[in-house]
Amino acid sequence: MFGKEFRRKYAVTDQGVKNLVQGTIWTVIVNLIAMASIGILYGMMTDYVGILSGGTALPSAMLFGACVVVFVLLSFLTHFKQYKATYGLVYGEVRDTRISLAERIRKLPLGYFGKRDLADLTETIMGDVNRLEHVWSHCISYLYGSYISTVIVAIAVFIMDWRLAIASLWGVPVAFLLLFGSREFSKRKSEKTKEAAISVSDGIQETIDNMREIRAINQEEKFLDDLNMKIDRHEKITVSGEFSTGIFVNAASVIMRLGVATTILVGTKLITSGQIDFMRLFVFLLAITRIYSPFDQALALIAEMFMSQISASRLMEIYEAKTAEGSENVAMNGHDIEFENVGFAYDGDEVLRGVNFTAKEGEVTALVGPSGSGKSTCSRLAARLWDVSEGSIKVGGVDINTVDPEVLLSDYSMVFQNVVLFDDTVMENIRLGRRDATDEEVMAAARAANCDEFVRKLQNGYDTEIGENGAKLSGGERQRISIARALLKNAPIVLLDEATASLDVENETKVQGALSKLLAGKTVLVIAHRMRTVEAADKIVVLKDGKVAEEGSPKELFEKPDGIFRRMSMLQRASAGWSL
C-alpha cells in the first residue's frame, strides 16, 4: 500500500510516507479507543440493570470510574499523537516539496517552459501543493486508519452476532463502491475545473502584462469581456463539479446510515423471537454510530482525495521531466564553438538539419539568413538552453551535453533582443553580471558600456529604481545596461542578437561602441542584422531553411557569383536601410 505507486499517487516523499504510516497507526488507535468506550458503557449499563433488579454495584462503580479516567487520559494522549503525526509533520513536508519543486524547475531545459506556461507552473507550486497539503494532513491517515479500525471492529461485532453485524455494516462497502465508481467522473470534472482555473489566471496575467498594448489598440472592452467569460466559465464548472461530487458523497453517507434502520429491523425481529436480549441490540446501535463517525469524516474527504490525484500527477510530471544534467568539472581547451552535424526540432518540427560550422575564439562569427532560418535556434543551442536532437556542439573540444548547464553558462554572456531587467536599482541590475562585483567595478562596466551618461541624469543616479523590466528606460538604454552586465561578467563566449532596429542613430553608435569593447578577444556568435557588423565579421555563416547555405569570410562570400550573401548585401546596399 505504501510503496512506490503510493508515493506517485499522492506525490509524497519517503519521509512523508513514514509520517503518513505513523498518522494511520495513531488514527487506528484513536478509533479503537473510542470504540472501547462503548465497551465501558455496555458494562455500566449491564451493572445498572443489575442494580435495578436488586443487586449491589459499589465495587463496579469504582472500577468504572477508574476506567473512565484511564479512557479520558488515553484518548487525550492518542489524539495528541495523531495530531502531531498528521498535521504537525505535514508542514515540513509542504515546505520541502515547494523547495524541491523550485530546484527542479531551475534545472529544467527551456524547452519545457514552452509546454507549461507561467500560470500553470505557479498553480502547481502554490495551488496543487496546497491541495495536497490538505490531503496529506487531513485525508490519507484518517481514511486508511478508518479502513483498518473498521475491519478490526467488524471482526469483533461479527463474533458478537453475525446477523446484526451484517444488518449494520452492509452499507459501508456499498457506499465505498459508489464512491469509487464515481471516481473517474469526479476526476474528469476536476480536470476541467483545473483547466478553467488556469485559463482565468492566464487571462488575468495576459491582460495585466499587455495593458499598455491593449490600451494602445483601444481593445480594453474586448479583453475584459474575454476575461469575464473565462471567469464565468470557471464558476459554472466549479459549481457543477462540486454539485456532482456532493451528490455522490451524500448518497454514500445516506446509504451507510441505512444500516441503523436495518439493524433496528433485524434486531427487533431477533428480540421478538427471543434470540437476543434488548441490551445486545442497544450496544450494537451504539457501536455502529461509532463505526460511521470516522467514515463520515473520511467520506467528506474522499472526493478531495480523488481530486488531489490530479494535483499529484501534475506535480510528478515536473519531478519526472528530463532535466539537463552534466558534469561540473570540465577541462575545456579554449572556447571554440563547434557545431557538428547538428539537427534540432521544436516539438517534432525540424528546424535545423546537418548544421556544421565552427565559431573560433577571438573571432566574430556572424549568423545571417532570412527570418525563420534558424539563427536564434543555433544561438540558443550553443548555450545549451535547449539540447540538440542530433549531432553535437562542442566548446573547447568538450561536448556541451556533458556539462552541467549552470557551469556551462558561467562561460557565456548573452545580449539578446529582449533585455530582462528587474525592478531594482541600476546598480543591482548591472551587478547581476557578477554578484561579487564592487560598486566601482559596476560603474567601470557602466562607463565602458556608455551607460554612465544617462545613469547620472536619472533622479538618484545608480540608485534609481528602474521599474518593472526597466519600464522607465528607453530601448537603447536597456540594451546598454545589458551590455554593461555582460562586460562585468567578462565571460569568454558572447552570444549576441543584434536587433537594434528600434534605435536611433546616436544610440546605435553608442551601443556599437559598447559592444566592440565587450567582444574583443572573445568567441563571438552574433545574429547579425546590420551590414556594418556583417562586413566586420571574421566569418559569416549563412543559414537557409535550417541548413548552412554558405560559409566564409565576408570577402569570399561577396565574391561568390549567385551567392545568397552576395544577393542579400546587394539588395541592402541598393535600399536606403542598413539592416539585413
Chain positions contacting ligand ADP, by CB under 6 A: 114, 346, 349, 351, 369, 371-377
For the bound state, the minimum distance from the C-beta of residue 433 to ligand ADP, rounded and expressed in Å, comes to 25
What's the CA angle centered on 421, arms 417 and 422, to 5 degrees?
Answer: 160
**Which of 377/479 has CB closer to ligand ADP?**
377
Nearer of residues 382 and 432 to ligand ADP, judged by Cβ: 382
Shortest Cβ distance from residue 502 to ligand ADP (Å)?
A: 17
Q: 456532482: which residue's cell?
A: 244
The least distance separating ligand ADP from the CB of residue 342, rounded to whole angstroms, comes to 12
Residue placing its CB nearer to ligand ADP in the complex, 313 or 417: 417
* 319 vs 346, beta carbon nearer ligand ADP: 346
Question: Closer CB to ligand ADP, residue 7 or residue 544?
Answer: 544
CA distance 513 to 6: 61
Phi, psi for residue 199 in degrees, rounded to 5: -65, -30
- The bridge status of strand 364-368 relative to strand 539-544 is parallel
Sequence-distant (6+) residues with CB within 8 A of 204 are 227
**Nearest distance from C-beta of residue 489 to ligand ADP, angstroms:** 23
Q: Work out whether the CA dihedral 476, 480, 481, 486 comes out positive or negative.
A: positive
CA 17 – CA 491 distance, rounded (Å): 46
Least gap, CB of 380 to ligand ADP (angstroms): 8
CB-CB contact of 238 with 196 (8 Å): yes
Single out the residue of 30, 36, 288, 35 nearest to residue 142, CA to CA.
30
Closer CB to ligand ADP, 34 or 121, in the complex:
121
Task: Indicate the residue among 54 and 348 with the shorter CB distance to ligand ADP.
Answer: 348
Task: Please give the Cα distance from 145 to 489 (Å, whole number).
Answer: 57
Q: Which is nearer to ligand ADP, 266 or 526 (CB)?
A: 526
Least distance (Å) between residue 556 CB and ligand ADP: 22
State the nearest-atom distance from the C-beta of 107 to ligand ADP, in Å. 19
Phi–psi pair at 551, nearest 5 degrees: -150, 135
Minimum distance between the CB of residue 372 and ligand ADP, rounded to whole angstroms? Answer: 4
**278 versus 346: smaller Cβ distance to ligand ADP:** 346
Nearest to 467, CA basis, from 224, 212, 227: 212
Amino acid at 70: V
Spatial distance between the Cα atoms of 259 and 415, rounded to a whole number of angstroms: 72
The Cα–Cα gap between 473 and 454 comes to 10
In the complex, minimum distance from the CB of residue 379 to ligand ADP, in angstroms, rounded to a whole number: 8
**Which residue reads 449499563 in cell numbers?**
45
Q: Which of 230, 482, 519, 169 is nearest to 364 (CA)?
A: 519
* 546 residue type, one letter: G
Q: In 10 A of CB 10, how many CB atoms?
A: 22
Name the residue nearer to ligand ADP (CB basis): 23 or 369. Answer: 369
* Residue 514 neighbours by CB under 8 Å, 6+ apart: 448, 449, 450, 451, 480, 483, 484, 487
For the bound state, the minimum distance from the C-beta of residue 344 to ligand ADP, rounded and expressed in Å, comes to 9
Alpha helices, DSSP H, located in 53-139: 58-83, 89-107, 110-115, 118-122, 129-134
CB of residue 101 to ligand ADP, shortest distance in Å: 23
Whose Cβ is closer to ligand ADP: residue 173's or residue 372's?
A: 372
Cβ distance to ligand ADP smaller for residue 299 or 528 = 528
Q: How far is the CB of 345 from ligand ADP (least distance, A)?
A: 9
Instruction: Please state, in angstroms and rounded to a whole number, the distance separating the CA atoms of residues 108 and 487.
Output: 27
Q: What letters, b where the CB count within 10 A reaches 16 and e where it falls short, cover 374-389?
A: bbbbbbbbbbbbbbbb
